[in-house]
Structure 1
Amino acid sequence: MKLDRPEIADTLALKRRGWTLALLTLTYFFSFMDRQILAILLEAIKADLKLSDTQLGLLSGLVFAIFYATLGIPIARLADRTSRKRIIAISLAVWSAMTALSGFAQNFTQLMLARIGVGVGEAGAGPPSHSIIADLYPPEKRASAMAIYSLGVLLGGGLGMMIGGFVAHAYNWRVAMMVVGLPGVVLAIIVWLFMAEPRRGLSDAQRAMDAPAAMPSLGDGIAAMWRDPVALYLVAAVTITSLVGYALTGWGPSYMQRSLGFSMLEVSKYVALPAALIGSTSALLGGAAADRAAKRYGLHAQSWVVAVFKVVAFPFAVGFYFVDDPRFALASYFIAALFAGAYLGPTFALIQHLAPIRLRAVWAALTLLVINLIGLGLGPFLVGKLSDHLQPSYGTQSLRWAMLCVALLTPLAIFAYWRAGVVMRRRDATATL
C-alpha cells in the first residue's frame, strides 16, 4: 500500500525526532550560554564600566526579560500558524549576533541596548521548541524529552560561565562575549536546513481529531489557561522557582568571589562545569522519575515528583549561604544542584499536556511570559537592589544576605507543585466516573 504525502511526512518527522530534539537542545544551550555568560563577567564589567549592583541586576534580569517575555506572545501566535523551525533559526541568528555586539559596549546604555537585542532574539526560541517537542513525543515520554531539552539550560549556563571566565581571564570580557556569540550564527543555518517540522498534534492523534478546525484566538488561549487551576498552580510554581534560580545563578559567581574568596578563573575551573553536569543529571533524573511515576500513578504524580526533589534540595541550597569554608560551601551547593534541576522537564511537559493542541506555543509563551517577567526580570534585580540596600550595614557580605532572602521563597514553590498534583488527581478521578 502506497503512503500518501502526509503519512510520509509524519514517518520522516518521527524518524528524525532524535535529531530534531538534539538541535532544539543545542539551540537552547546557545540561548542560555549567551544569556548567562553575563554572570561570570559581572565583576569585570562592573570594574570596567563603573556600574552599581542595581545596574548589574537590571542588565542580568529586567532589561533582558521585558523584551524576551513580551515578544514571546506574538511570536508564539506566529509559530502556531507558520513554520516553527524557521522562526527558531532566525531568532538564534539575531540573539547570537547581539551577544557578540555586546563586547563593543562602552557604557551602561550601550550594553543595555545590546542585551535588549539578545532578549528580542531569544523570545522566538522557547514557545516553538516546546510545541515541536510536544508534537514529536507522546505524553508518557514527554517529560523525559523535555528534560533532555532542558539540558540546554544547565549545560549552557555552566559552560557559558566556564568559557566566558577562561576567555575573559586570557583576554577580557569583551572578547568573551564575541567568542560565545558568533558560533550561534552557524548553528542557525543548520537549524534552517535540517530540522524537522512535525504536523501539529502528531503524537496526540485523538486530541488532534477533536481540536477545532478554526485557529483559536489569543484571548481563547489566555482564557483557557486562566480557567485551568492545574495550569495556574504549575505556572506559579515554576515562576517562583525561576525567580529564585535566576537570582541565585545570576549572582552566584559574584558571591563566590566576594564572600568565599574565589577568583573569576577559579569559579570557571572548579564550579561551572561540575555544576552544569550535576544539574544536567538532576534534569534527566527528574524527567525519568516523572515519567515512571506517571505510568504507575497517573500524570498528576509528575508534579509531586518535582515537589519531593525540591524539598530535598532546599536545606542544602540555604546552607550554602551559612558556610564560610569554600569546600563545605561548594559541597552544599553541588548537593542542592543534584536535585534542583528536576523541575524543568516535568513542568513544561505537564503544561504542554494541558494545553489545547492548537495553542501549545501560546501556552508555552504565556508561561514563559510570567516566568521571565517575574523570575528573570525581578530575581537578579531584587538581589542587586537588596545588596545595595544592605551594604551600609553588612559591607562586602551584603550580597550573601540578599541572596539568602530570595532563596527562602522556595517553600512557596513546593506548595504550588504539591497543590497542582492534588487538583489534577481529583479532576482525573472525576473524569473517569
Structure 2
Amino acid sequence: MKKAYPLLFFLTLLNMLNFVDRQLIASFANFIVPDLGLTDTQFGFLTSLAFIFFYSVMGIFMGVLGDMVNRPRLIAFGVVLWSIFTALTGAAKGFVSMAVPRMFIGVGESILTPTSMSLLSDSFPEKRMGFAAGFYYMGVPIGVGISLLIAGYLGESLGWRNCFYLLGGIGLLLGLSTLFFKERPRKNAQSTEEKPSLSYASTLKIVFTLFRALKASSALRFTILAGVLYHIVLGAAVFEQLWFVQERGFERSEIAQITGWIGVVAGMAGNLFGGVVSDWWQEKTNQGRPMFLFWLSLVTFPIFIYYRFVDPNTVIFWTGVVLGFFQLGCFFGPTFSVVQELVPNNIRATVVAFYILTLNLVGLTLGSLGGGICVDYMKTNNFDEPYT
C-alpha cells in the first residue's frame, strides 16, 4: 500500500500537466483569438472537436491497450507524444496549423487517464479508490488553474507561443521519467497462458464485455449520462476568459491571475472534499456516490445561474466563480470511482476510456463547438452580451 502513494503523486503530476497543456489554448483565449483572427466557432472547434474526436476515439483503443501491455511504458509514450505537439502549437500561424497539433495532442493524452486509473485500481483497495481517484483528479482544477496563471503572469512578458514551447519541454522530461516506474500486478490477473494478446479476437472480446456491462447495469448507464450533461456545461466554459474581458470589463492578464489562483485552491478543496466525503457518504448512507453529487448540484445550481447576471463587484459573483471550480473538483473522484466499481477488473481501463469518449465527444463538443456557433450567431444578429 505504501508503494502506491509515490505512484499516485506522480500520476497526479502527469494529470496536472495533461490539463495545463489541454487548457492552455482556452486560458490564452484573449491572446490567441485576436492574434490568429479566429471566429468564436473556430475557437470552439479548436477547444473541442479538433482535440476531442481523436482524444475520445483513440481513448477506446488506448484503454484496450492499457489492459494488455506494460502500462508505465504506454503512459511514457503518450506524454512524450502530446508534449511534442504542445510545443508545435506555439508555431501555429492560423486555424489549420493550430488544429493539426491539437489532434495529435488528443491522441497522446488519450492514453493517460484510462491507463492511470487501471494502475491505481490495482494499487489501492476498493474502499480507498474514492480518495485515490479524487487525489488523481486534483490534476484537473490545478492544471486548469496553472494554465490560467501562466497566461496571467507570463502571457504579456513571454508571449503565448513561448509558453507552449516551455510546456512542451517540461512534458518531454516528465514523460521520460515515467519509465522509472515498474508495472503493477493486476488484480485477478490471468495466468501467462491465458493472458490476452494484442490480437483482433482478444480486443473484440474486451469490447463485447464492455457492452455487456453497459447493458447489464442501469447505474453505469445513468452515471455516464449524468457525466455527459455536466460536460456540456463544462465545454461552454472555454469562453469564460472571453466573457470576463469582453462583457465584465476585466483586464486579460488580471482576470487570468485571479481565476488561476481560485482554480488551484478551490479545485484542490473540491477534489479532496469530493473524494473523502463521497467515500464517507457511501459507507454511512448506503445511497452511493452519485446521490452525494446530486445533493451537491441541487444546492449550488441556483448560484451558478444567478451570478452570471450580477455586478462583478458583488459577493455573489465571486461566490459563483469559486463554487464553479470547487464543484469541478468534486465531480471526478466519485464518478470515476463508481465507473470502476461497476465493471469487471479486466476491462476497467477500457470502460474508463469509453466513459471519457462519451464525456468529451458528446458533452464537451456540444458545449464548446455549440457555444461558439451560438455566440457567432448572436454577434451577427446584434444580441447584447452574447457570452452571457
Tell me the TM-score normalised to structure 2 length.
Answer: 0.93
Could you list the runs of 5+ residues in structure 1 that have no partner in the other structure?
A: 1-13, 401-433
SS at match of 1:137: coil
Distance in 1 of aligned mates of 2:138 and 2:182? 20
Q: CA deviation at 1:217?
A: 2.7
Map Cα deviations across residues 196-242 of structure 1 (whole Å, 9 max, x no partner): 422111xxx6xx69xx9565431222222232111100011111112
Partner residue of 2:386? 398
1:289 lines up with 2:280 in the alignment: no
Give 2:91's aligned amino acid: F
1:240-319 correspondence runs (5 A): 240-248=229-237, 250-298=238-286, 300-319=287-306
SS in 1 for 2:68: coil
Show the 5 A alignment for 1:162-201.
162-193=149-180, 195-201=181-187
- 1:110 corresponding residue in structure 2: 97
52-61 or 300-309, larger mean C-alpha shift: 300-309
Amino acid at match of 1:218: V
Please tell me whether the aligned partners of residues 290 and 302 of structure 1 are also in contact (alpha carbons under 8 angstroms). yes
Q: CA contact under 8 A between 2:141 and 2:325: conserved in structure 1? A: no
State how far apart, in whole Å, the 2-side matches of 1:226 and 1:239 are.
18
Partner of 1:218: 207
Match of 1:75 in 2: 62
1:15, 1:280 → 2: CA distance? Answer: 22
| SS class of match (2:138) | helix
| Equivalence for 1:363 | 351
Write the mapping of 1:316-355 to structure 2, written as runs, cut at 5 A.
316-328=303-315, 329-355=317-343
Alpha-carbon separation, structure 2, partners of 1:105 and 1:71: 24
Query: Structure 2: which amino acid aligns with 1:243?
Result: I
* Aligned: 1:130 with 2:83: no
Among the aligned pairs, what percent are the same residue? Answer: 27
The SS at the match of 2:282 is: helix
What's 1:147 paired with?
134
- Separation (CA, whole Å) in 1 of partners of 2:49 and 2:384: 24
Distance across 2 between alignment mates of 1:234 and 1:338: 20
Between the aligned partners of 1:345 and 1:143, the Cα distance in structure 2 is 6
| Counterpart residue type for residue 356 of structure 2 | L
Kindly provide the CA deviation profile for residues 274-302 of structure 1, in whole angstroms up to 9, marking residues without a partner as x: 1221022011101111111122233x421
Q: Report the Cα offset of residue 393 of structure 1.
A: 4.2
- The one-letter amino acid paired with 1:224 is A
SS at match of 2:111: coil
- Match for 2:2: what amino acid? K
Cα contact 2:16–2:143 (8 A) shared by 1:
yes
Distance 2:83 2:314 in 1: 36
1:43 aligns with 2:30: yes
Seen in structure 2, the aligned counterparts of structure 1 residues 304 and 181 have a Cα distance that, compared at 3 Å, is same
Looking at structure 2, the residues matched to 386 and 326 of structure 1 have their Cα atoms a distance apart, in angstroms, of 27
* Greater RCO structure (CA 8 Å; 6+ sep): 2
Letter in structure 2 aligned against 1:348: F
- Measured on the aligned residues, the alpha-carbon RMSD in Å equals 1.9
Residue type matched to 1:341 in 2?
A: G
> Counterparts of 2:150 and 2:168 in 1: how far apart (Å)?
11
> Following TM superposition, by how much is the alpha carbon of 1:145 offset from its aligned partner in structure 2, in angstroms?
0.8
Q: AA paired with 1:383? A: G
Is 1:372 paired with 2:360? yes
Q: Which runs of 5 or more structure 2 residues have no equivalent in the other structure?
A: 197-204
**Contact 1:95–1:117 under 8 Å retained in 2:** yes
Asked whether the 8 Å contact 2:16–2:140 carries over to 1, the reply is yes
Partner Cα separation in structure 2 for residue 338 and residue 151 of structure 1? 11
Q: How high is the TM-score relative to the length of structure 1?
A: 0.83
- Aligned-partner SS, 1:399: coil
How far, CA to CA, are the matches of 1:229 and 1:330 in structure 2?
38
Q: In the alignment, does 2:26 pair up with 1:21? A: no
Residue in 2 aligned with 1:52?
A: 39
Aligned to 1:81, the other structure's residue is in SS state coil
CA gap of 1:84–1:380, structure 2 versus 1, over 3 A, is: same
